[in-house]
Amino acid sequence: SRYQELVELDKKHFLHPTSSIKQQQEKGPALIFTEGKGIYVKDIKGKSYLDGFSSLWNVNVGYGRTELGQAAMDQMEKLAFSSCFSTFSHEPAILLSAKIAELAPESLNTVFFTSGGSESNDTAFKLVRYYWMLKGQPEKKKIISRRRSYHGVAMGSTSATGLAAFRTFTNSPLPDFFQVDNFSIEALLELIETEGPDTIAAFISEPIQGTGGVILPPDNYFTQVREICDKHNILFIADEVITGFGRTGKNFGIEHFGVTPDIICFAKGVTSAYIPLGGLIISEQIHSDLKELSNGIFFHGYTYSGHPTSCAVGLKNLEIIEQENLVENARMMGEELLRGFQWLQKEHAIVGEVRGIGLMGAIELYKDKTTNERFESPIAPGLAAELLNNGLICRGVTYEGSDMLAFAPPLVINQEEIAKIIEIIDKVLLNFEQGLGR
């Protein structure tokens, strides 16, 4: 059959990103997706799935938006590509940078484009080093990040990533990258003291850790971080690759915490994944210092920095988010999702802590939630597979001793669809608990 044919070709020729190579080569792909509409995707066998994860936290406006296809087609017909190097420019990149500046916190107004989150973070790391060089402090080049963070897989971003599985893979972390314990202000201060503030360029953090398991900071964490950064002349980079453009119920996740970063990195949601695009937004302060002090070339730029077709899709996507009020919908539906999780927590002995902000949420799984005792081996992967069998896509997270299910449905989701998610989880958990004889 066509399906078998594709499986064999996949096994032979396709090395999957972030995959078990051995399992992939032996078994082939578990699912071959063919189409999507709204929050649902369909596989080659015709089975439909509610995508409770927006693929990779990124199909924010849902599947099958012909307006986005049309925007790409119109731009491709007109001017598919044109470089933005040096003095060349074009309308889609100009208009999208202006639109992003409008959405971003007031003092962040200048945009550099990349093709994704990893490139954005690597650009930020180079940019902050360049900045301190120009300011006459070339020794200020260290980057501090947090444990459990995820910042991508390029050399800089993988070195900043706090999840050990990624950072230590192939022994690749670069020197000058440091991680501190999550939310420990003490650890941050201690590291700054030990290394010396004059050697530290920037602190990078996701406003809400995504890949690490939807981990929310304590209320005053970022206020303290901002104060420490200001005091020690350390730039604060917010990695908003997941949280940017509405996912958390605000334009940017950092807005929840009442502080303004010096740089915001973005990707995913800027185009709702319809086409690759990422970038960073820098503060007026950094921009004006760069303008004043830089007298050579800024030797950094990707061929596709400001790709016109990507930018045209980005513009249309941000227009959809605005017209359909999706940031507010994410906030309201996020509350609905969290209420659903709280109900699951009451109903199920294995559901411990539940949490969420906007449309990012997680439920923690325990053998005994009264003592926070975990199962001998994590149950999240098995449960995620069972949810998939029941038509719901989510992610089982087992990094560094955790055992949880994470959710991030498209921002277009409605109340009935949230109820459907809760109903499927409820059914699968019931089955699982019955299997335990509870």
Interface residue list for ligand PLP (CB under 6 A): 116-118, 121, 150-152, 206, 210-211, 239, 241-242, 267, 278
Q: In what order do the strands lie in the sheet with 395-397?
A: 351-357, 360-365, 404-407, 395-397
Name which of 211 and 272 has its Cβ closer to ligand PLP: 211
- Cβ proximity of 229 and 203 under 8 Å: yes
Name which of 121 and 272 has its Cβ closer to ligand PLP: 121
DSSP 402: -
The contacts of residue 19 (CB under 8 Å, 6+ apart) are none
Name which of 225 and 350 has its Cβ closer to ligand PLP: 225
Name which of 306 and 352 has its Cβ closer to ligand PLP: 306
Name which of 239 and 336 has its Cβ closer to ligand PLP: 239
Q: In what order do the strands lie in the sheet with 40-43?
A: 33-37, 40-43, 48-51, 392-393
For the bound state, the minimum distance from the C-beta of residue 419 to ligand PLP, rounded and expressed in Å, comes to: 28
For the bound state, the minimum distance from the C-beta of residue 276 to ligand PLP, rounded and expressed in Å, comes to: 8
- Find the residue with minimal CB distance to ligand PLP: 117
What angle separates helix 415-435 from helix 380-389, to the nearest 10 degrees?
120
Name which of 150 and 221 has its Cβ closer to ligand PLP: 150
Distance separating alpha carbons of residues 221 and 227, to the nearest angstrom: 10
How far is the first Cα of the chain from the last one, in angstroms, to the nearest whole number?
Answer: 43
Question: Among candidates 250, 233, 252, which has minimal Cα distance to 241?
Answer: 252
For the bound state, the minimum distance from the C-beta of residue 57 to ligand PLP, rounded and expressed in Å, comes to: 7
- Cβ proximity of 360 and 268 under 8 Å: no
* SS3 category, 191: helix
Name which of 145 and 309 has its Cβ closer to ligand PLP: 145
DSSP 253: G
- Cβ proximity of 124 and 204 under 8 Å: yes
For the bound state, the minimum distance from the C-beta of residue 55 to ligand PLP, rounded and expressed in Å, comes to: 11
Name which of 249 and 352 has its Cβ closer to ligand PLP: 249
For the bound state, the minimum distance from the C-beta of residue 274 to ligand PLP, rounded and expressed in Å, comes to: 14
CA distances from 245 to 93, 255, 322 (A): 17, 11, 10
**How many C-beta neighbours within 10 Å does residue 421 have?**
23
Distance separating alpha carbons of residues 156 and 68, to the nearest angstrom: 32
Name which of 246 and 352 has its Cβ closer to ligand PLP: 246
Name which of 52 and 278 has its Cβ closer to ligand PLP: 278
For the bound state, the minimum distance from the C-beta of residue 123 to ligand PLP, rounded and expressed in Å, comes to: 11
The contacts of residue 327 (CB under 8 Å, 6+ apart) are 246, 249, 250, 251, 321, 411
User: Measured over all CA atoms, what is the biggest interatomic distance in the chain, rounded to whole angstroms?
Assistant: 72
- Cβ proximity of 194 and 342 under 8 Å: no
For the bound state, the minimum distance from the C-beta of residue 117 to ligand PLP, rounded and expressed in Å, comes to: 2
- Cβ proximity of 350 and 368 under 8 Å: no
For the bound state, the minimum distance from the C-beta of residue 214 to ligand PLP, rounded and expressed in Å, comes to: 11
